[in-house]
Amino acid sequence: MSVTDPSRPGEHFVYVLDHDAGLRTALPDPERSRARQHAVAAVIELPTGDWSPRDEVASAELGLLVLEGLLIRDVTVADARCGELIGPGALLRPNDARGSDAPMRHEIGWRVVEPTRLAVLDRRFLRVAAHWPTLITALVARATERAHDLGVMVSIHSLKRVDTRLLAFFWHLADRFGKVTADGVLIPLGLTHRQLALLVGAQRPSVTSALGALAERDLLRRDERGQWLLSLADDRPDEVALGGDDLVGAGDVRAPIA
């Protein structure tokens, strides 16, 4: 549900707990209704394409909560690039980036992959959440979860082969986005080969070659809607992904992304 504040024309607000089941269930039943009425936040809507956070996010002292959509955070160091996939439930503080002032200079960019809505968790929201400490705990857990995910991605990037990186990456996505179907585990994300290259630290042509090899082995393929489907033929996806010796090679992945 969204609401409009008559004192701030043109600005839309949402009841945050209506859009985030994890925060809602963090509260005991007797408290949810009251917390819902007060936990209200302004919304930023982002179309697909590049996004440059500006003054519109300056008031988000606690952060920006992704309500729906999909983004990629792109970090460039020298000629190497790495992407972080961000979806619903993530807590962002894009204005904290100080890459140009860091000893090891780096650049950060944002790309909206699917239309995205962000809740602005400002000082008012923080004062409200302070009445329910479990909300603060749940939001801190979101930040910790992102750190854990980045740790997993570092390990995936350290794999030598593109095909094993891709398979490990998609099984990692399956834990959060996957839906079990009769045909396998559906990952309902329309990620392109170029985006996947950024996310697994490979060249785009190598990703295309590796995806073809995985499809031939019926381990990973794209369906007619452009979504990704993981095979359930093996009940040990971690060993399938990380073993790698019998998978078709896809070239060196340490080169910069094309």
| CB 221, CB 213: distance < 8 Å | no
Whole-number Cα distances in Å, 144 to 102, 140, 141, 147, 218 = 23, 6, 5, 5, 35
List, for residues 10-55, the tens digit of each pLDDT value.
Answer: 458 999 999 999 999 999 988 999 999 999 999 999 999 999 887 6
Please indicate, yes or no, whether residues 94 and 213 belong to a single structural domain of this protein.
no
Give the domain-ending residue among 103, 136, 155: 155
257 in any annotated domain = no
Q: Are residues 212 and 112 in the same domain?
A: no
More confident residue, 107 or 167: 167
- What is the distance between the alpha carbons of residues 255 and 250, in angstroms, rounded to a whole number? 13
Phi, psi of 122 (to 5 degrees): -90, -170
Q: Per residue in 238-253, pLDDT tens?
A: 554 455 444 444 444 3
Task: Report the percent of the chain where pLDDT is more than 70.
Answer: 82
Specify whether the CB–CB gap between 165 and 157 falls below 8 A. Answer: yes
CATH of the domain at 80: 2.60.120.10
Write the pLDDT tens digit of every residue in 193-245.
Answer: 999 999 999 999 999 999 999 999 999 999 888 899 998 865 445 554 455 44
Please give the distance of CA 103 from its chain centroid, rounded to a whole number.
Answer: 27
Domain residues for 166? 160-243
Cα angle value 171/177/178 (rounded, 5°): 60
| pLDDT tens per residue across span 128-168 | 999 999 999 999 999 899 999 999 999 999 999 999 999 99
Could you give the number of structural domains in the chain? 2
Which of helix, strand or coil describes residue 222?
strand
Three-point CA angle 145, 150, 155, nearest 5°: 130
177 pLDDT above the threshold of 60: yes
Domain identity same for 178 and 118? no
Mean pLDDT of all residues belonging to the chain: 84
- Spell out where the chain has E strands: 2-4, 12-15, 40-46, 49-51, 63-77, 80-86, 91-92, 107-121, 179-181, 184-187, 220-222, 228-230
* 135/199 same-domain check: no
Do 79 and 36 lie in a common domain?
Answer: yes
Whether residue 249 lies inside any domain: the answer is no
* Domain's final residue, options 109, 125, 155: 155
- In the numeric block, the tokens 């350290």 are attached to 158
In terms of Cα–Cα distance, which of 110, 124, 202 is closest to 164? Answer: 202
Residue 242: per-residue pLDDT: 52
**Whether residues 117 and 34 fall in one domain:** yes
Using DSSP bridges, classify how beta strands 184-187 and 179-181 pair: parallel, antiparallel or unpaired.
antiparallel
Q: How confident is the model at residue 254 (pLDDT cuts 50, 70, 90)?
A: very low
Largest CA distance in the chain: 64
